[in-house]
Chains A and B, each alone.
Chain A
């Protein structure tokens, strides 16, 4: 029920933001389309904690702020490497352990690695993420495990 409600609110907000027309007729269409999509989703059995991970609603924003800071810093490092030329990079493949128990936690971790310039997660097998790093600095930043810890706090 919680997930159905969350999905309805999210879809309505999405419609309101994208529409810009708030006449009674169009608002009725909004309710009708949201009801149709929600019932279809329920019929497809995809309205659950996997599609709407409500438990991370309040912990995720704090992590996203930290991630934004990391992404900006990583951007500056990679931009410097670009202008220094290809002699300044030393590409390497490293393996990091995803200590999160849930699939959601692992996905957030792997996606955060890819979002940060300088590191791309190539493969995830069990608990091991294979990461391609642009240079030693990028690899070392990831190997400290701070990101892993922070993701674990968001989605164990």
Chain B
């Protein structure tokens, strides 16, 4: 039984690590700010969740379990709020998403 929980926990931990790594690669690969936010949200959501679920399985029925659940809840709430705040701040300070930027360049070229 103990071994089963250990194996399951390792599957979750490795899965979470994979999504964190994917988020980091996406952050480097994607071309501009707004698409990079999407890559970062991989790390925020499934990356963090799977790692915390893996840790919950390691913790067992102890006080660490509800604490890990609280960490999960708060990190999910904080992650979305931060993503939204950054996206809104970027838009307000004049950074335009790529599709609009391309559209504007095309229009300018036609005017020329």
Please name all residues of chain B whose beta carbon is closer than 8 Å to the beta carbon of A72 when the two chains form the complex.
46
CA distance A67 to B90 in the complex (A): 27
Instruction: Say if the beta carbon of B70 comes within 8 Å of chain A.
Output: yes
Q: Is the CB of B41 within 8 A of A120?
A: yes
The stretch among B3-11, B23-31, B104-112 that forms the contact with chain A is B23-31
Contact with A along B62-93 (1 / 0, CB 8 A): 01001100100000100111011001100100
Contact with B along A76-103 (1 / 0, CB 8 A): 0011011101100111110000000000
Q: Is the CB of A79 within 8 A of B22?
A: yes
Which B residue sits closest to A93, measured CB to CB? B97
CA distance A93 to B110 in the complex (A): 22
Instruction: Say if the beta carbon of A105 comes within 8 Å of chain B.
Output: no
Q: Is the CB of A111 within 8 A of B88?
A: no
Instruction: Say if the beta carbon of A106 comes within 8 Å of chain B.
Output: no
Which B residue sits closest to A132, measured CB to CB? B34
Q: Contacts A17-B67, A82-B29, A111-B80 hold; do A91 and B34 have CB atoms under 8 A apart?
A: yes
Given contacts A71-B45, A120-B37, 10 further A-B contacts (CB under 8 A): A14-B70, A17-B66, A83-B25, A86-B35, A92-B99, A117-B38, A117-B42, A120-B84, A132-B34, A132-B37
